[in-house]
Amino acid sequence: MSASAATSLVEPQSPTELAPASAAEDAAPPRPAAVLKGGPRGLEFLIDGTAPIAAVAAALCTRLAEAPAFFRGSSVCVRVEDGPLAPGCLARIDEIATRFELSIVEVGASRPARPERDASAAVSAPVSAPAAPVEDTATPQGSAAHPAGSGAVAAELAAALPAGDTRIVVGPVRSGVILEHHGNLVVVGDVNPGAEVRAERNIIVLGRLRGIAHAGIGRDHGFILALKLEPQQLRIARQVARAGDADGPVAAAEIAYVTSNTIVVERYAGKLPLGLANSM
Partner 1 sequence: MGRAIVITSGKGGVGKTTAAANLGSALAQLGKSVVLVDADIGLRNLDVVMGLENRIVYHVVDVVRGKCTPAKALIKDRRMDNLWLLPASQTDDKDALTPADMAKLVCELKSNHDFVIIDCPAGIEQGFKNAIAGADEAIVVATPEVSSIRDADRVIGLLAASDIPARLIVNRISPHLVKRGDMLSQADVIEILALELLGTVPLDEHIVATTNKGVPAVIENKSLAAKEFTRISRRLAGLDLEAADTAPGFFARLGRALGLSPAPTT
Residue 229 contacts partner 1 per CB under 8 A: no
Helix (H, G, I), strand (E, B) or coil at 234: strand
| 21/19 Cα distance (integer angstroms) | 5
- CA dihedral sign, ordered 6, 44, 93, 116: positive
Angle at which helices 53-66 and 89-99 pack, to 10 degrees? 20
Kindly tell me which of 32 and 176 has the beta carbon lying closer to partner 1: 176
Q: Binding pattern to partner 1, positions 184-203, x when CB under 8 A?
A: -----xx-xxx---------
Contacts to partner 1 from residues 98-127, by CB under 8 A: 114-115, 117-118, 121-122
Alpha-carbon distances, residue 108 vs 99, 190, 277 (angstroms)? 21, 23, 29
Judge whether 267 and 253 are in contact, CB under 8 Å. Answer: yes
Helix (DSSP H) and strand (DSSP E) numbers for the chain: 6, 15
Q: Is 130 in the site for partner 1 (CB under 8 A)?
A: no
Measured from the CB atom, the residue of 81 and 190 that comes closer to partner 1 is 190
Q: Say whether the peptide bond before residue 20 is cis (omega within 30 degrees of 0).
A: no
**Does position 139 bind partner 1 by CB under 8 A?**
no
Question: Binding of partner 1 at residue 42 (CB under 8 A)?
Answer: no
Residue 118 is given by DSSP the state H
Q: Which is nearer to partner 1, 142 or 172 (CB)?
A: 172
Q: Shortest Cβ distance from residue 266 to partner 1 (Å)?
A: 25
Least separation in angstroms between residue 39's CB and partner 1 is: 10
Nearest CA to 79 out of 114, 46, 37 is that of: 46
Smallest gap, in angstroms, from Cβ of residue 109 to partner 1? 15
In angstroms, the CA 23 to CA 10 distance is 24
Pattern of binders to partner 1 over 74-103, x per CB under 8 A? ------------------------------
Q: How far is the CB of 118 from partner 1 (least distance, A)?
A: 6
Nearer to partner 1, 80 or 195 (CB): 195
Q: What is the SS3 assignment for 158?
A: helix
Q: Which is nearer to partner 1, 41 or 221 (CB)?
A: 41
Among 177, 178, 179, 226, binds partner 1 (CB under 8 A): 177
Backbone angles phi, psi at 122, to 5 degrees: -80, -15
Selection from 11, 26, 2 nearest residue 157 by Cα: 11
172 binds partner 1 (CB under 8 A): yes
239: phi then psi, degrees, rounded to nearest 5: -100, 150
Q: In this chain, which of 175, 233, 259, 262 binds partner 1, going by CB under 8 A?
A: 175
Confirm or reject binding of residue 226 to partner 1 (CB under 8 A): no
Q: Per CB under 8 A, does 134 bind partner 1?
A: yes
Contacts with partner 1 by CB under 8 A: the residue count is 20
> Where would I find the H helices in the chain?
15-23, 53-66, 68-71, 89-99, 114-122, 151-160
Select from 41, 63, 174, 219 the one that contacts partner 1 (CB under 8 A).
Answer: 174
CA 222, CA 216: separation in Å to the nearest integer?
Answer: 5
Residues that bind partner 1 (CB under 8 A): 114-115, 117-118, 121-122, 132-134, 172, 174-177, 189-190, 192-194, 210
